[in-house]
Amino acid sequence: MTRPGEGRRGRASGTVVRYVLLVVGAAIMVVPFLTMLSTSFTGQAYVLTIPPQIIPNPATLDNYAQALGTQDFAGYFLNSAIVSVLATAVAVLLSSMMAYGFARFDFPGKEVMFRLLLLGLVVPAMMLIIPQFVLAKQLGLVDTLAGLVVFYVAGNLAFNTFLLRGFFASLPGELDQAMQVDGANAWTRYWRLAMPLAKPALGTVTIFTFLSCWDEFAWALTLIQTPDKATLPLALSLFQGENSTQWGLVFAGSVIAVIPVIIVFLVFQRSFVQGLTSGAVKG
């Protein structure tokens, strides 16, 4: 659409500037990642040379072969996948319910309970590892994938609820009330109305939660005792040597580990489609 005062040339130069900025920014974002990628194809002798090489010469697939051929690598991958998918699903569900409850209803102690969630954001997770481990032992969750899921969900509740509450609160109340008049109960309003409208926020929350579960190391290290329940970050940590490290191997493992997260990102970022909210309100 044309704007007053902006001719076609003004719009074109604006687009060029926009693209230049984006390309420069994207290049800065990507260069370290490219270094990681290129090092993963490099033999040990040439790793992280100073000054750095971008195109590895000679290139090799040995690192990937070694990483993928590591005993039980598929098992670690599967464990991470199970834990992350389950924890993300439960976390998004529970926190969206909480966010909806805080946004749409009044009840005694509401503000206090909401502030309590702030504690979850403010306290460093490292500090909680030992009390949580003792608790996990009491609940019989030591060395179990369920133990990972339970605590990953709990750890993501505060952030997700804060993010989603703002979204639900900003949704116009008329639609709620319209449905209420039509006889819809609270759960239906939450599930059929609020959730679809909050898709951008839900997409964001899903991406972040999956990433935090997939990459989590300290709790997995503490809880898991047997290798058959280990997750991918634990496997990657074993690629670092006591006296020296094969960085090509570490980076190859990291590249493999990053692929599912990118996939989750690509799948869920499509929910950022504009138009649902404005369409409903305009009517």
Partner 1 sequence: MSSIVSRRAREVQPASRARRRHGWIGLAFIGPGLLLFLVAVVYPIFGAVQMSFFHWQILAGAVSEWIGLDNYVQAVRDPLFWSSLLNSGVYMLLTVPPQIVLGLLVAVLLKRASPTQPIFRALFYLPVVTSWVVVSLLFKYLFADQGLINFTLHDFLHLMSQDVSWLSSRWTAMIAICALGVWKGIGWSMMIFLAALQGVPESLEEAATMDGAGRWRRFRVVTLPAIWPSMVFVIVLLVIGGLNVFTSVVVMTNGGPADATQVVLTYMYQQAFKNLDFGYGSAIAVLLAIIVLILSLIQLRVFRDRSEVAS
Partner 2 sequence: MKRSLVRLAAVLATAAIAVPLAACSSGGDTSSSAKQTVTIWGSYGNGGNSAQQDALNKTLIPAFEKANPNITVKYVDVAYDSLLQKLTTSAAGGTLPDIVRSDIGWVPQLASLGVLVPISDKMSGFDGLAKATYPGSLATNKYDGKYYGLPLDTNTRVLITDQAALDKAGLTAPPKTFDELKAMADKLKGSGTQVFADSGLGQWNMFPWIWSGGGEVTNASLTKATGYLNGPKSVAAIQMLVDMYQAGEIPNLITGNSGATSTQDGLPKQNYATILDGPWMKSIWKAQYASFTPIWAPVPAGAGGSISVVGGEDIVLTSTSKHQAAAEKFIAFTQSKTFQIDMAKTGQMTVVPAYADAQAQLDPTYAIYAAQLKTAKARLAIPAASKVDGILTDALTPAFEGKVSVKDALTTAAGQIDPLLTAQK
Quick one: three-class SS letters along 84-109?
HHHHHHHHHHHHHHHHHHHHHCCCCC
What residues have CB less than 8 Å from 69, skipping those under 6 apart?
Answer: none
234 binds partner 1 (CB under 8 A): no
Residues 177-206 that bind partner 2 (CB under 8 A): 187
Q: How far apart are CA 22 and CA 141, in angstroms?
A: 47
Residue 146 interacts with, from partner 1, partner 2, none (CB under 5-8 Å by kind) = partner 2
Using CB distances below 5 to 8 A depending on partner kind, what does residue 207 bind out of partner 2, partner 1, none?
A: partner 1
Q: Examine residue 94 and tell whether it contacts partner 2 (CB under 8 A).
A: yes
Residue 242 sits in the site that holds partner 2 (CB under 8 A): yes
Question: Residue 193, interface with partner 1 (CB under 8 A)?
Answer: no
> Site for partner 2 (CB under 8 A): which residue of 36, 68, 142, 179?
142
As a whole number of angstroms, the distance between CA 74 and CA 87 comes to: 20
Distance CA 84, CA 94 (A): 15
Residues in the chain, overall count: 283
Sign of CA dihedral 227, 231, 232, 238: negative
Residue 212 is a binding residue for partner 2 (CB under 8 A): no
Q: Does 43 bind partner 1 (CB under 8 A)?
A: no
Pick out residues in 105-134 that bind partner 1 (CB under 8 A). Answer: 105-108, 110, 113, 116-124, 126-128, 130-132, 134
Question: Exposed, middle or buried, 266 (CB in 10 Å: 0-12/13-18/19+)?
Answer: exposed
Q: Which residues bind partner 2 (CB under 8 A)?
A: 44-45, 47, 50, 66, 70, 86, 89-90, 93-94, 97, 129-130, 133-134, 136-137, 139-144, 146-147, 149-150, 153, 187, 218, 221-222, 225-227, 234, 237-246, 249
